[in-house]
Amino acid sequence: MPELLSTTAGLWLAVVASGLYHGINPGMGWPLAVSAGLMGRGRRDLLAALMPLAAGHLAAMLVILLPFALMTALLDWQSQIRIGASCTVIAFGVFRLINRRHPRALARIRPSQLALWSFAIATAHGAGLMLLPIYLGLCATDALDPAHQASAVLMAHNAATAGLVALLHALTMVITGGLMALLVHAWLGLKFLSRSWFNLDLVWAVSLILIGGIGLATA
């Protein structure tokens, strides 16, 4: 039991850590919040811009996690589902390593459509896929007796877990990104963006492969 609790706590910490990682990454949108603050009414517009960014990111997580919440009710296929999901994450990470260009379709989304932009960018970068092995680890039922598990109960439980994982991740992301935006807007200034801009695409791709590998090893 202590080992199980430790594993579960570690997985939830991984959800928070990925949210911090996405929040710090400027590619997830906090510079758009800075822009909204500079061109509008200051911090009020900056904070208002964070809400659609968070909503879009949350939607991108749920689109990936909720279908797997239904699939995990198939107890006999637990291992296959986890192996398949982990391989998908690894394959997408390899793809991101080879092709780091952003999809052209993203350029057609106006900055004013923050929720749509956030959803599209998170999906294109595989943000939801990154959470998938972590989520499946939290929903593992290997230690449970299948004879006493009703599929409807499992689906409801796993769907709730999917929502909680997505919500905690998105909340951590938007708080971290909001703090970055406030720092740049109030103290660091735009020179920070020009001098200290950092691209995390390589780290992101490697992280996808690493998390997929861990999921594969634990499946």
User: What is the residue-wise DSSP string for 101-118?
Assistant: PPPGGGGGS-TT-HHHHH
What pLDDT is attached to residue 106? 57
From the CB of residue 49, how many other CB atoms can be counted at a distance below 10 Å?
A: 24
Q: What does the pLDDT look like over 40-89, one tens digit per residue?
A: 777 888 888 899 999 999 999 998 888 877 766 565 567 777 788 888 88
C-beta separation of 65 from 56 below 8 A: no
Which tokens belong to 205?
Answer: 């791709």
Task: Answer whether residue 94 shows pLDDT above 70.
Answer: yes
Task: Give the residue, 1 or 207, on which the prediction is more confident.
Answer: 207
Mean pLDDT over each residue of the chain, to the nearest integer:
76
C-beta separation of 80 from 213 below 8 A: no
DSSP class of residue 29 equals S
Instruction: Report residue 153's pLDDT band, with 50, 70 and 90 as the boundaries.
Output: low
Hunting for tokens 């449970």 — which residue is that? Answer: 144
Query: In Å, how far are 82, 89, 155 from 132, measured between CA atoms?
Result: 9, 8, 16
Least confident of 32-36, 156-160, 166-170, 198-202: 198-202
Which tokens belong to 111?
Answer: 């900055």
Task: Answer whether residue 152 shows pLDDT above 60.
Answer: no
Task: Give the residue, 173 or 142, on which the prediction is more confident.
Answer: 173
Domain ranges of the chain: 2-218
One-letter identity of residue 189: G
Task: Answer whether residue 142 shows pLDDT above 90.
Answer: no
